[in-house]
Amino acid sequence: MAGQRTKRISTHGDRWAFWLILLLGLAVRLWRFGALPAGFNQDEAFAGYEAWSLLRSGTDSAGYAWPVYLTAWGSGMNALETYLTLPFLALFGRQVWAVRLPQLIVGCLSLPALYGTVRRCADRGTAHWAMLLLAICPWHILLSRWALESNLVPGLLLFGTYFFLRGLEDSRYLIPSALLYGLALYAYATIWPILPFVLLAQGLYCYRRGRLKPDRRLPGALLLLFLPALPLLLFLAVNLGWMEEIRTPFLSIPKLLVLRSGEISLRHIPENLENLFAILWTQSDGLPWNSAGSVQGAERIREGLGDILRFGGLYGLFYILTPPFVLLGLLRCLLRLWDGERDFKPAVLLLIWLLAGLVLGALVHVNINRVNILFLPLLILAAVGLRWFGSLFHGRLTPLLLAAYLFLFGSFCGLYYFRADSGYQTQMRYAFGDGLDRALEAAMEQEGTVVLDGHIYYSTVLFYSGTPVEDFRATVAYERYPAAYLSPTSFTRFRFGYGGGVPEEGSCCYILSPWTDGSALKAAGFRAEEFGIYTLWTR
């Protein structure tokens, strides 16, 4: 009786721990969602504009009907974020937060999915640690709050892995696993050469260990995996010049102006690995939308702990405490592999995933979002390491470790991310162009040409102005065409590239970023009005 009572108490505590961690993770991702980060990144703006165009006209900005890959920028953009955005724009209109909703949903669902994945490979304590590390992880919090299309990949691969593990118990779950792995191909093209080998290695290992058994559902799962990949194979054939592009009213296989095939290279592996390990060592790539500062930055701050916390010196990707436990978790997994037993070891699947991320980092000169498939395996390894470390001391140090992580998380939220005077949100306001929507709205109330400086991306102007895609295609003029990254000089009533000289004849107003001098406009009698980081000059 006492044993049963103890087991019930333990199960009750596990449930409480799960729900508390989940609520904590949801809260930090939902709090002030849509307002932070302020502004709109140019890539998420283009994804949103393409969705808006498809919703209104059935074609993207290049005139393709329902393309498998967008021709945005000239050298293309992954399409899944755009298609996931469609229902939210249809429901809520042309709103920044509506564009960001798919990434938020995937980020939130990743929390229970990670718990379920790790729980099928380890004990509840390790699963709780993994879920907690993800819930409070700066990298994942930042990722969940804006809409870079490639950042859908970690969540989709996690969902695919979760259902794959369930499929080893019940083959019905192989169907959603295959579907999610297939969808991941539409989230980021860089994983195209990596994912087939990951799935093949996982499948062969599980088959050899007797966990993946051929039955009537397995061919259906393989077919469901191949069908989403088929249009992308045709896309590669078109863009390698092996066949003509395909245009139909319901599906298009476009030919890009420039195919960025040179990003993957065997010649630069040493330099790529050096760059990758520099990112892992510092937990930063220097881009504030990818990580919360560099952990090495703390060495250069001498004013005390408060300044270190405000400047992000202890946060990085997943806090300064985490890397030793990643290494400890890796050691633990390797020891389990070498225990002499030939039974099924879930750690192999984790190491396959980890190896895939390292191979990608060797083939491509990466930043954090380009190698984002690597960080969930690292967090799982950290959870394994934390659980093992705690068991070595019979759990006595676990409360101390938990308190340390919660302290860092609290300071990340209170002193760094959500605090206006920390400098981080100011940095993001400049990076994502806060205020352009309001400046454009005021400018469009004027008659005549609206002139913008060269620091303003045309994708954000397209989205904020809601320019009909037919009008855009009919009037756009480019500085260079074709090009990998197109730069329009004008479309409809907008002109781009003002550098601070004499005002154009017939122009009604100017929108300038902080990096462009407006003194010539002031001398010509224009009046200035501030909108976020932008200045609207009108007569």
CA atoms of 13 and 5, how far apart (whole Å):
12
Number of Cα atoms under 13 Å in the Cβ half of residue 143: 31
Q: What tens digit of pLDDT does each residue of 388-401 get?
A: 999 998 889 999 99
**% of the chain with per-residue pLDDT over 70:** 94
Mean pLDDT to the nearest integer, 138-155: 97
Residue 303 has pLDDT above 60, yes or no: no
pLDDT of residue 2: 46
Type of residue at 13: G
CA atoms of 138 and 317, how far apart (whole Å):
6
Q: What tens digit of pLDDT does each residue of 375-390 get?
A: 999 999 999 999 999 9
447, exposed or middle or buried, with CB in 10 Å at 0-12, 13-18, 19+?
A: exposed
Mean pLDDT to the nearest integer, 338-342: 75
How would DSSP label each residue in 95-139? -HHHHHHHHHHHHHHHHHHHHHHHHTTS-HHHHHHHHHHHHT-HH
Q: Tokens 């090009």, residue?
A: 483
Which structure tokens are listed for 538? 């009108």
375: number of Cβ within 10 Å? 22
453 φ, ψ (degrees, to nearest 5) = -80, 175
Average confidence score pLDDT of the chain = 92
Element (H, E) at 71: none
Q: What tens digit of pLDDT does each residue of 206-227 get?
A: 999 989 988 888 888 999 899 9
Chain Cα centroid distance, residue 212: 31
pLDDT-derived band at 295, boundaries 50, 70, 90: confident
User: Is 114 in contact with 136 (CB distance < 8 Å)?
Assistant: no
pLDDT of residue 1: 47
Spatial CA neighbour of 346 closest among 113, 119, 109, 111: 119
Give the three-state DSSP class for 252: strand
Type of residue at 512: L
pLDDT of residue 263: 67
Type of residue at 251: L
Spatial CA neighbour of 425 closest among 310, 318, 301: 310
**Per the confidence metrics, is the pTM higher than 0.85?**
yes
CA atoms of 88 and 98, how far apart (whole Å):
6
